[in-house]
Structures are given as C-alpha cells and as structure tokens.
Structure 1
Amino acid sequence: MGHAADTRLAAGPKESWYLGEVFTPGTKLGARPDDPETFVQVVEVTEVTTIRVPSGRLIVDSPWPEDDDPELETRVGRELAERIPPGIFRVEAAWTEAPYEFMGERFDGREVAAIRLCVTEAPVVGWEMALSVADDIETLRPGSRIGFNSETNMGSFADAVAWPTLTAPFREFWRGCQTGNRQPRETESLFDDYFERVSDEEHEADLVTFTAEGLSVVWLGRTESGAIASVAVADGYHSFSRDRSV
C-alpha cells in the first residue's frame, strides 16, 4: 500500500512539479520575471559534499544566532520531527542559468535553485512539508506553509546532537564583527563560497550551509512505501512564471 500524505502537509501541484523537475538537467523551469523571453533552465546537478548525521536527528535551519539575541547564544535549531537513518549522506545542488545583460555586460545568471540531502536512491513519488518537533499539525490548514526563517540568507543541514558545536564558528564570527575583530570563519568553503561545511570530530557529525532567503519550507520526498528518500529546500518555484508547454 502506498503512503498517503496528510492533506495539510502535501505539496500542491505547482510545488510538486517544481520539486520533481528542479533536479533534472535540461528542464526549463519558467521564465525570468523581468524577461519573459529568457528561460530559467536546470544546467546540472552536482554533489556538494557528504554530511554525517550519526544521531538520525536532522536540523534544517539557519546556523546564525537570532538577530534579537545580544548574548549570541546557540540558536534553537529547527529539528525535524521525522528521523532519518543514522549515516553519511550526499548533499546535492541543482544549478540553473538564465542569461541576462547588465551595463553592457553579459552574465549567465547561474544560481543554486534547490538543495537536497539524499537519504536513499529510491524514486520519490510524493512530497510533503516537514514538521519540526515543536510544530503542531492541528494548527495547520491545507495550503499553509511553515519552515525556517533566515535574515542572513543562509540555511543548513546539521546533526541535531552536535548542533551547538557545529554552529560555533558562526557565533564567533558574529562576536568578532561586533567587537571590530572580524576574522575569517572557521569553516570549509565549497564551490567558491556558495556553501560552507563544519565538522565536529567528537560526534563525527557535520553541518553544510546553503542559500536560503526569508521563509524556507523543508520538503520530504517520500518513496512508494512512505520512507524518506530526500530532504529538500527549493523555494525558487514562486520566483518566476512557468509555462509547462515549453
């Protein structure tokens, strides 16, 4: 018997289409909002890195402290209510291009349109919104969307148990900025700073960052049996017009 998602969590038709196609090179996702003649096209899907999640408890949230926290304490990360199997997983990014011209110069408009943590190789048959351990599904209505907010335009995947240690470089960087002692973050830069990676060898766990703007919904890709195949953040579906006939 297939898995039936709660209607309050199930992705809508537009979201399902986007999540299913954004990781398929060659797909035309839609037109640029400022240029209906130029399409946003998926050009490649790359493995960013691998991530260790030994506890099976996954946080998907901004690694930065709360903006209104003068003490810069560890942010209470948004831990997903559903667990994944403890292990090492690939993190993959979907890259799009939509050429444009600015000040007489031509640019390829290359961006990361979506990011996913690959749990299994099994095909995804449906998508549903991921709840956190603090969320109450009874407060949701069909079509409502919840997730994490980032005013620093950064989200991350991380092991929940190691979260305080994994986010420490971001708190220390912020403290340095406030005191005028701005030093490089103690993180590993990946793909020319599109992503960052932090490791905690005591817990044998990692954190991987990615671009995230405003409210970011976390999606669970389910297999036919209901198992989680991937965890994705892909907010680009609302940023352009889509014509599925192209």
Structure 2
Amino acid sequence: MEWIGDARLAAGPEAAWYLETVFTPGEQLGTVYDDPTTPVVVTGIEEVTAIRIPSGRLVVDAPWHDDETWEYERGLPTSPPRELAVRIPPGTYRVEIAWTAGPYEFFGEHFDGVECAATRLRISDDPVVGWEMGLGVDDDIDRLQPGERIRFYSDANVGCFADAGAWTALTAPFRAYVDGRPMPRDSEQLRGGCERVTDESQQADLVTFMAESGGVVWLGRTKTSDVAVIVVTSGMPGVKA
C-alpha cells in the first residue's frame, strides 16, 4: 500500500520543488535579493560527517537557548528539546549540506554569496515520493493553521541533529559558562562551520549546522511511508520556509 500523507503537513508545490532542487548541483534556486538578473545556484553537496543515533529518537533543535542558561547552571529544569515524533531505525547516518552561491555587491565590495541552503540527514537512498513537515512529539496537528510552518528557533543561528536519549550529555559543552561567558567546547570542528559532540558511553552524537533563526524540518517519505531523508531549511528563495 502506497503512502498517503496528511494534507495539513504536506509541502506545497513551491516547497516541494525547492526540497528536490536544493540537493541537485547546478540547479538554480532563485535570484539574489534585489537583483533578479543574478541567479542563486546550487554549487555542491558536501558530506560533513556521520552521526550515531542509537535510540532511534532524533532531536532537531538549537543545541542551547540563551534564555535557559541561568536555569541550567543552577540545576533547574529547562525546556525539553524538540524531539521529532517520527522514529528512525537506530544507526549511523550521513549529514550533508547543500551549498549555494549568489554573488552580490555591497557598498562597492564584491561577495561570493556562498551560503548553506539546506542540511539533510540521509536515512536511506530510497526514492522520495512526497514531503511533509516533521512534527515534534509535543506538536498538536489539530492546532496547525493553513499555511503555517512549524519550526524550531535558535538564538545563535545554530541547529543540530542529536540522539534524544543522550541529549543532556551531548549538549553539556554548549551550556558551560563562567562569569557569563561561554567556555571553550570539547567538540570536533567540522567543515562548513559545523561541530560534533560525542558521548561514547552511549555511542551517540550531536552535529551542529547553520540555521538562521532556526528552521523547518521536512521529512522525505518513500512510497511505503518510510522516512528516507530529513531536511532542515531556514529560508527558501521565493518560498515561505
């Protein structure tokens, strides 16, 4: 039986086109802001690292929130992370970034306009037949308004994929402050400005990526409803992300 998604979560035609196109090198996604003559082009797909998700429970959220630092330092409860309602098979998966370029000029200075257009977690190589927003475990689909995009928010323009079962240990380096200043993190620096934190006691990882103000999580479903890919977008040229 083929998968039939919930229409309230389904990506519209423009969003679906973007999600299919953004990971195709050479394709044009739109044009530079205020310059319709200069295209924004997908320049390449970069595999950043692999991530271990032994619990099959995936968090896609900011690794920390500034307004919770005080509570964390004093051992007080903080908000739970945005864990996705969907479950994935426990395993190790590739994290990939789609890069775009849209050259522009600003006050006489030229810039290459290279940006991260989307980040994805590759669950399988099976073909995707449809896209839908990824709900969090605490999201109520019945409260979703027409055209609304459910997203996570980030004070520092950073998002992450992480194993939910090891969340506390994996995010501890991001919450270490002394006199109000962040301490150097015990993390692995990756390409594209990403970081990886590991918890060997649980064989679990957290990988950060760029996410301007946060992002929307999209699930790429196969014809049998399995999730083949999880994509995070922060903005889409001409598309409400």
TM-score by length of 2: 0.92
Give the Cα separation in 1 of the matches to 2:143 and 2:238: 31
Q: Retained in 2: the 8 A contact 1:9–1:142?
A: no
Percent of residue pairs bearing the same amino acid type: 55
* Change in 2 beyond 3 A, CA 1:98/1:87: same
* 1:136-175 correspondence to structure 2 within 5 Å: 136-172=140-176, 175=177
| Match in the other structure for 2:178 | 176
| Match in the other structure for 2:97 | 93
* 1:3-152 correspondence to structure 2 within 5 Å: 3-72=3-72, 75-152=79-156
Pairwise CA distance, 1:68:
4.9
Ranges of 4+ aligned residues in structure 1 off by more than 3 Å: 102-105
Give the Cα separation in 1 of the matches to 2:118 and 2:43: 12
Pairwise CA distance, 1:215:
4.7
| Match in the other structure for 1:197 | 196
Gaps of 5+ in 2: none
TM-score by length of 1: 0.90
Q: Which amino acid aligns with 1:149?
A: Y
Give the Cα separation in 2 of the matches to 1:225 and 1:142: 26
Gaps of 5+ in 1: none
Q: Retained in 1: the 8 A contact 2:32–2:103?
A: no
Pairwise CA distance, 1:103:
4.5
Q: Which amino acid aligns with 1:199?
A: T
Give the Cα separation in 2 of the matches to 1:177 and 1:208: 27
Cα deviations by residue, 1:171-210 (Å, 9 ceiling, x for unpaired):
01xx2360x5x54222111115x21110000000000011
Pairwise CA distance, 1:125:
1.1
Q: Retained in 1: the 8 A contact 2:59–2:164?
A: yes
Look up the SS of the partner of 1:161 in the other structure.
helix
Cα deviations by residue, 1:120-169 (Å, 9 ceiling, x for unpaired):
00011110001111111121233222121112111100000000000001
Pairwise CA distance, 1:53:
0.0
Q: Which amino acid aligns with 2:234?
A: D
RMSD: 1.7
Q: Which amino acid aligns with 1:176?
A: V
